[in-house]
Chains A and B, each alone.
Chain A
Amino acid sequence: MQRYSILSVLANAFGGHRGWTPAWRDAAPADGYDVVIVGGGGHGLATAYYLARVHGITRVAVLEKGWIGGGNAGRNTTIIRSNYLLPGNEPFYEWSMKLWEGLEQELNYNAMVSQRGVLNLYHSDAQRDAYARRGNGMRLHGVDAELLDRDAVRKMAPFLNFDSARFPIQGGLLQRRGGTARHDAVNWGYARAASALGVDIVQNCEVTGFIRDAQGAAVGLETTRGLIRAGKIGLAVAGNSSRVAALAGMRLPIESHVLQAFVSEGLKPVIPGVITFGAGHFYISQSDKGGLVFGGDIDGYNSYAQRGNMPVVEDVCEGGMALMPMIGRARLLRSWGGIMDMSMDGSPIIDRTPVEGLYLNAGWCYGGFKATPASGWCFAHLLATDRPHETAAAYRLDRFATGHVIDEKGQGAQPNLH
């Protein structure tokens, strides 16, 4: 692997940038592997990397039906944070945040991790109490959280609509260590580091079935590029989890829903960090290129279409106008939709399945991007040791049957409300 440094950048600058080599190997599938990961998104690539780096398992393949990072890894709003309330969630997301903080040195790749802060606004006494409770929960787990009053918020973001009579801004919960990262670079960084450790990244390779032995265990995969034997198989296919699991005869506690996101034309720096509207579902940040990146609710009906409908566009824009009227002056550059694997309690699943040899990483709802490093770390731990990682022990597949659900929003088994 060509190591990146200021010297390599300078040397290539003087050489007309003709000296760069491909960052990772586009491999053809071998006959068999110790572990095969299905899904070449951030979670799958991170899993493969940590399998090789932490557990020394290098006969690993990542199978991707399209190109790596072409699914939700390329369709998110790039926010990283660990501001969760429940004990099942908070240690996991904080572990992810710690991995984000060391990611670029670890991978020798500029993932543009920027801890510019995540500010959740509150607009009522009840909401302030709820955020105080959440902040206290975070601090009990050793995570930074600050409850700001109205004046402190005004100092940070004077452009917000403080005169709104309907939704007055009373303050906000701030996590300074939260922020954003460059989504594509996260994928490419993991792909490059995994490839350098011997992992095969196989693109244009769609899984069409599982090879089962006499006892019913999954021992390989049927793919569009031939049969591949596998010691263990890990699924990390996000919105397509139900479809791939169905190939193994499983039904999951998951519905696939479309989530839209939006980006404006490039502007001078105006939004200091990530800001969320507490009186509606709207969140916004500004990319390093200058575009305002924002989004809101999922459309609310089952979908695999990767595009949404106008009512949610209108709803998101109304939220934006209510929060910061200046956004009305910016022109929308583009919007897109991604398919979310919405679980029945709004929390993910990292667990073995009833099929021997088949492991599941799914149910990320619309919180998958921030979880990428820890998801990979914990899934690799599970695949290598057959035991859950301590921060992901609550993400069991059977928790819905046993009643140990992790429902941050308290919405019950209605995926379009999480």
Chain B
Amino acid sequence: MRLPCPYCGERDAQEFVYRGDAALQRPPADIATNAADMFDYVYLRENPAGPIREHWYHAQGCRNWIVVTRDTSSHAIEGAVLAKAADR
């Protein structure tokens, strides 16, 4: 599997560290009022069979976090953008 890093071009997936679903949004840090939201963020996943937007870190390259759109059923990759430029 090769990932199209927007900065470095197409590179072997081995150069990247996988983080997972990019849709997750960390709730405000106040755990006292946000326990349920924090549980949701830390533990629950959509885990789709099909297209997913996910975070990869180009640890052995440009060290950018990128958002890759990939099909989990086929490993086909649609594209990638820098995480800081991605729509949230």
In the complex, which of the residues A255, A300, A401 contacts B47, with contact meaning CB atoms closer than 8 Å?
A: A255
Q: Which residues of A contact B (CB under 8 A)?
A: 240, 242-243, 246, 251-256, 300-305, 309, 311, 344, 400-401, 413-416
The answer for the CA separation of A413 and B52 in the assembled complex, in Å, is 19
Specify the main secondary structure of chain B where it touches its partner: mixed
> Which B residues between 53 and 82 are near A, CB-CB below 8 angstroms?
54, 70, 72-75
Cross-chain contact A254 with B47 (CB below 8 angstroms):
yes
CB of B7 closer than 8 Å to a CB of A:
no
In the complex, which of the residues B1, B20, B49 contacts A243, with contact meaning CB atoms closer than 8 Å?
A: B49
The answer for the CA separation of A302 and B18 in the assembled complex, in Å, is 9
Given A256-B72, A305-B74: A300 in contact with B18 (beta carbons within 8 A)? yes
Cross-chain contact B46 with A242 (CB below 8 angstroms):
yes
CB of B8 closer than 8 Å to a CB of A:
no
Cross-chain contact A401 with B39 (CB below 8 angstroms):
yes
A302 contacts which chain B residues (CB < 8 A)? 20-21, 47, 52, 54, 72
Measured between C-beta atoms, what is the minimum distance from B72 to chain A in Å? Answer: 5
The answer for the CA separation of A251 and B47 in the assembled complex, in Å, is 8
With contacts defined as CB atoms under 8 Å apart, how many contacts are there between chain A and chain B in the complex?
68
B35 contacts which chain A residues (CB < 8 A)? 401
Cross-chain contact A305 with B44 (CB below 8 angstroms):
no
B49 contacts which chain A residues (CB < 8 A)? 240, 243, 256, 304
A253 contacts which chain B residues (CB < 8 A)? 43-45
The answer for the CA separation of A400 and B44 in the assembled complex, in Å, is 9
Cross-chain contact B45 with A305 (CB below 8 angstroms):
no
The answer for the CA separation of A316 and B52 in the assembled complex, in Å, is 27
CB of B14 closer than 8 Å to a CB of A:
yes
Given A311-B14, A416-B18: A251 in contact with B75 (beta carbons within 8 A)? no
Cross-chain contact B18 with A256 (CB below 8 angstroms):
no
B14 contacts which chain A residues (CB < 8 A)? 311
> Which B residues between 8 and 50 are near A, CB-CB below 8 angstroms?
12-14, 18, 20-21, 35-36, 39, 42-49
Cross-chain contact A251 with B45 (CB below 8 angstroms):
yes
Cross-chain contact A242 with B39 (CB below 8 angstroms):
no
B75 contacts which chain A residues (CB < 8 A)? 303, 305, 309
In the complex, which of the residues A255, A301, A303 contacts B45, with contact meaning CB atoms closer than 8 Å?
A: A255
Measured between C-beta atoms, what is the minimum distance from B38 to chain A in Å? Answer: 10
Measured between C-beta atoms, what is the minimum distance from A107 to chain B in Å? Answer: 33
